[in-house]
Structure 1
Amino acid sequence: MTGFTALELARIQFGFTISFHIIFPALSIGLASYLTVLELCWLRTRRQLYRDLYHFWLKIFAVNFGIGVVSGIVLAYQFGTNWSFFSQYAGGITGPLLTYEVLTAFFLEAGFLGVMLFGWNRVGPGLHCFASAMVAIGTLISTTWILASNSFMQTPQGYRVENGVLVPDSWLEIIFNPSFPFRLMHMSVAAFLATAMVVAACGAWHLLRKNDTPAVRKMFSMAMWMLLVTAPLQAFLGDAHGINTLKHQPAKIAAIEGHWENHGADPLPLVVFAIPDMDGETNRYQVAIPRMGSWILTHTWGGQIRGLKDFPKGDRPNSTIIFFTFRVMVGLGMAMIGVALLGLWLRRRHAMYSTRWFLRLTTSMGPAGLVAILAGWYTTEIGRQPWIVYGLLRTKDAVTPHAVGTVALSLGLFIVVYAFVFGVAITYIFRLMRNGPARFLPDAATEGGPGQANTPSRPLSAAPDHINPHGSTL
C-alpha cells in the first residue's frame, strides 16, 4: 500500500466492500419479485413448471439474500470506524434514514422470509404467496430508504446547520430531494434488468447442454421478455437521470463527458473515446461525433454545458476514471438492448431456443447487468468527489485520522476474508444454477434425500447429504 494516504486507503476500502455488497441486494430485489410472479403464475394455472422454477430460484435467492445482509453490516461499521467525522456531521439525517430501513424493510423481510423459505407445506398457498410478495415489497422499501440517504448526500436539501452539524428541517424535503426519484427508478430497474440477464444466462446455459425442458424454456422466455421491457426503459431513465444530474451536479457531467471548455457558440461533440488528462486539462486521443453531445446533453443541436475549466481545480471530479466507468455502463446497457431485440427476432422465427450462437451470447452476457450496476455506482460516487455531502462536506474532512498502516492492515484483511467468503458463496450459487430446476413433489411419500419430495426446502439442499468415511461423496 506504499504511496497511498490514509484517506485514499479508506476510500478504497469502502469502495471494495460496497462493490461486493451491491451485487447481492440487486439480485435480491429482482429475484424476490421474480419468485412472487412465479408463485402467482402457479396459483393461477397450477402448472407444475412454475412450482419447479419457484423452488429452484428460491434456493439461490436464500443464499444471495444471506450474503447481502452480512456484507451490508460491514458497511455500517465503516461509517463509525473510517468516516467518524461524516457520521458526526450528517448522522442526524443519514442515521434516522437507515434506521427507518431497519424498522420497515428489514423487519418486514425477516418476518416473512421464514414462511417463504420453509412454509410451502405448512401454510396455505395464498398465505405463502402473500409472504413471498411481502419479502419482495420489503426489498423495494429497503432500496427506497438507502437511495433516499445516498441521494441526500448527492443533492442535499431540507436541512439546517447548527453547531457545525446538519439538523433535519423537513423530512419530506430530505427524503424527496431533487435526485431521489430519478436515482430510485434507475436503480430499481437496474436490479430487475440485471436479474433478468442472470436468469436468461442460466436458461441459455442449460439449453446449450441439451437440458431442454419446459421449465428451462419457460424461465428463459420470461427472462427475455423482461429484458425486452427493462433494457430500453433503463436507457430512458438514464437519460432523465443525466438531465437531473446536469442541473444539480454540472461538474460531474462535464467530467463524464470529458468536456473541458466551450469554443464560442459551437455545438458540443459527443466524445466517444479519449484519455482525459486532469493535469493537462485536455483529452488525449480523442474520437468524437460532432453536435451529438449537444443533442444528448441538452436535447438541442446547439446547446452547451459548463466545461471542467469553469470549476476550480479542487472541485473537479476525476474525469480519467468516470469517463470510462460511464461508458462501460452505457456500452453494456446497449449490448443488453441488442440481446433483447435479437431474442425477439429469433422468437418470431421460432428459433430462440435452438440458435446456439445466440445462446452462447446470452450466457456470456450473464454478468453484464451486475457489471453495469457497479460501473454506474462508481460513476455516481467518484463523480461526487471531492464532496461526501455535495457542496457541504469534503471527503478529506470526513475521514477518521487513522495511521496509514492501520487502514492498510484492515483493507488487507478485508481482501483476504472477502475472497474466501464471497468466493465460496458465489461458487455455491453457480452450483445451484448448474443443477437446474428439478421436479418438486410435495405430496409423494418418500424417504427424502437430494431431489426427493421430503428434502427440506433449504439453500444447502444442493450439497450431497451422504459422505463416506474416506471423504468422497456417494
Structure 2
Amino acid sequence: TLSAFWIIALNSWMQTPAGFEMRDGVAHAVDWWAIVFNPSMPYRLVHMLLASGLTVSFLIAGLSALRHLRGDRSESMWKALRTGVFTAAILIPIQILAGDQHGLNTLEHQPQKIAAMEANWNTGPNVPLVLFALPDEAAKENRFEVAIPDGASLILRHGTDGVVPGLNDYPGNHPPVFPLFWSFRIMVGTGLLMLAVSWSAAFFLKRRHSLPRPLALLMVPMALSGWLATLAGWYTTEIGRQPWLVTGVLKTADAVGPVAGSHVALTLAIYLLLYLLLLIAYLGVLLHLALKAAKDGDSSPLPGVMKTAMSQPAAGE
C-alpha cells in the first residue's frame, strides 16, 4: 500500500500537475503537499486499491469454484469461496461509486480525455451514451454506432441536458480515440460482469448454501477478471493522457531522448523476457500452493472429526 501510494501520487501528478512553477523551462516544486495530493490523486488511489482488492477476491473465488467443480466440498473450499465472493460483492458497488467520482474529477481536469472515452465529437447537451462504435478520427464520426439517448449527459452531468465536451474543441490536442474508447468499455463491461457474477454467487451461497454448476463454470475464467479490468483501466489512464507526458506542461514527443530505436527495442525485449519469467515463476508457485492446499484439505480430517476419532476407544480396549 505504501509503494502504491507513491506510484499513484507520481502518476496522478503527471495527469493533473499542481504545486509547481516553471522557471526557464524547468518545473520547480513550490508546494509538496499540493504535488503529492494533486487534484486526481485521492480518486485514483482509492480506485486502484479497490481494484487490487477485487483482483484478489475474484482470483480466490475462481480457484475455489474450480475446486468445487472437481468435487471438493471441504470446509477450506467453502471458506475460501465465501471469502472471495462476499468480499467481491461488497467491494464492486463501492468501486463503481468511486469510478463515477473519478470520472467527474477527470471531466473537470481532463475534459479532452472524457470526450475521447465517450467518442463525443461535438460539445453540447443531450449527449448519448455510446455502447458500441468504430470511431473514425479522419472523418470525425462514429461508424456503426449503438447508443442510449442522453446517457452520457445523465452520467457525467447527472442531467439529460448536461453539456459534455466534444473532441472538435481540442484539435490536435486530444488522445487517440479508438483505443481509449474501447479500453474504457472493456474496463466498465468487465466491472459490470463482476458485479453480476459476485452478487449471483452471494445470493446462492447465502440463501441456498450451494453454487450452481453453470455459475461455477463462469467463475473459473472470472478469476482473471480483476486483472483484465485493472489493465484496461491503466490503458485508459495512460492513453487518455496523450499527447502529454505531463498534462499541459510537457508533451510526450518533447520528452523523447536521443536513443537509437534498436537500443530501445533490445531493452524492451529484455524487460519483457524478465517479466515473462517472473510471471511463469509466480503462476508456478501459486499453482503449487493451490494444489497443496487442496490435497491437504482432502487428506486431512476436519478438527471436529479428528477430535471425535481420538476420543473413541480403540478396538479391544
Please give the TM-score of this superposition, normalised by the length of structure 2.
0.89
Structure 2 residue corresponding to 1:276, chosen from 135, 149, 153: 135
Equivalent residues in 2 for 1:50-69 (5 A)?
none
Structure 1 residue corresponding to 2:201, chosen from 329, 336, 343: 343
Alignment of 1:207 onto 2:68: yes
RMSD of the TM alignment (CA)?
1.8
Structure 1 residue corresponding to 2:33, chosen from 147, 151, 172: 172
Counterparts of 2:162 and 2:30, CA distance in 1? 37
The equivalent residue for 1:432 is 289
The answer as to whether partners of 1:206 and 1:436 remain within 8 angstroms in 2 is no
The answer as to whether partners of 2:19 and 2:29 remain within 8 angstroms in 1 is yes
1:226-255 deviations in Å (ceiling 9; x for gaps): 011101111110000000000000000000
Equivalent residues in 2 for 1:75-224 (5 A)?
140-224=1-85
CA shift, 1:287, in A, is 0.8
Letter in 2 for 1:349: R
Counterparts of 2:127 and 2:249, CA distance in 1? 31
The equivalent residue for 1:322 is 180
The answer as to whether partners of 2:125 and 2:153 remain within 8 angstroms in 1 is no
CA shift, 1:414, in A, is 3.1
Letter in 2 for 1:276: P
CA shift, 1:297, in A, is 1.2
Alignment of 1:412 onto 2:269: yes
1:330-353 deviations in Å (ceiling 9; x for gaps): 001000100121012212432434
Equivalent residues in 2 for 1:207-286 (5 A)?
207-262=68-123, 266-286=125-145
The equivalent residue for 2:165 is 306
Counterparts of 1:218 and 1:350, CA distance in 2? 15
The equivalent residue for 1:384 is 241
CA shift, 1:404, in A, is 1.6
Counterparts of 1:144 and 1:404, CA distance in 2? 33
User: What percent of counterpart residues are identical?
Assistant: 39
Residue 384 of structure 1 aligns to a residue whose secondary structure is coil
The answer as to whether partners of 2:54 and 2:92 remain within 8 angstroms in 1 is yes
Q: Following superposition, which runs of at least 4 residues in structure 1 exceed 6 angstroms of deviation?
A: none
Residue 271 of structure 1 aligns to a residue whose secondary structure is strand
Counterparts of 1:300 and 1:215, CA distance in 2? 48
Counterparts of 1:300 and 1:175, CA distance in 2? 33
Letter in 1 for 2:230: I
Q: Which has the higher contact order (CA 8 A, sep 6+)?
A: 1
1:13-55 deviations in Å (ceiling 9; x for gaps): xxxxxxxxxxxxxxxxxxxxxxxxxxxxxxxxxxxxxxxxxxx
Letter in 2 for 1:387: W
Letter in 2 for 1:185: V
The equivalent residue for 1:461 is none
Residue 316 of structure 1 aligns to a residue whose secondary structure is coil
The answer as to whether partners of 1:193 and 1:369 remain within 8 angstroms in 2 is yes
1:356-389 deviations in Å (ceiling 9; x for gaps): 1111111120000011000000000110001111
Counterparts of 1:160 and 1:335, CA distance in 2? 44
Counterparts of 1:146 and 1:413, CA distance in 2? 23
Residue 208 of structure 2 aligns to a residue whose secondary structure is coil
The equivalent residue for 1:53 is none
Residue 167 of structure 1 aligns to a residue whose secondary structure is strand
Structure 2 residue corresponding to 1:292, chosen from 119, 134, 151: 151
The answer as to whether partners of 2:121 and 2:166 remain within 8 angstroms in 1 is yes
The equivalent residue for 1:59 is none
1:425-453 deviations in Å (ceiling 9; x for gaps): 323322322333536x9xxxxxxxxxxxx
CA shift, 1:323, in A, is 0.4
Letter in 2 for 1:426: L
Letter in 2 for 1:432: L
Letter in 2 for 1:300: G
The answer as to whether partners of 1:255 and 1:322 remain within 8 angstroms in 2 is yes
Please give the TM-score of this superposition, normalised by the length of structure 1.
0.61
Counterparts of 1:144 and 1:418, CA distance in 2? 22
Letter in 2 for 1:310: D
The answer as to whether partners of 1:204 and 1:220 remain within 8 angstroms in 2 is yes
Counterparts of 1:256 and 1:434, CA distance in 2? 42
Q: In the comparison of the two structures, how many residue pairs are matched?
A: 298
| Unmatched tracts of structure 2, length 5 or more | 301-317
Q: 1:295 to 1:224 in 2, by over 3 A?
A: same
Residue 222 of structure 1 aligns to a residue whose secondary structure is helix
The equivalent residue for 1:403 is 260
CA shift, 1:266, in A, is 4.7
Counterparts of 1:351 and 1:198, CA distance in 2? 21
Residue 418 of structure 1 aligns to a residue whose secondary structure is helix
CA shift, 1:290, in A, is 0.6
CA shift, 1:280, in A, is 1.8
| Unmatched tracts of structure 1, length 5 or more | 1-139, 442-474
The equivalent residue for 1:127 is none
Structure 2 residue corresponding to 1:363, chosen from 220, 238, 242: 220
Letter in 2 for 1:424: A
The answer as to whether partners of 2:183 and 2:232 remain within 8 angstroms in 1 is yes
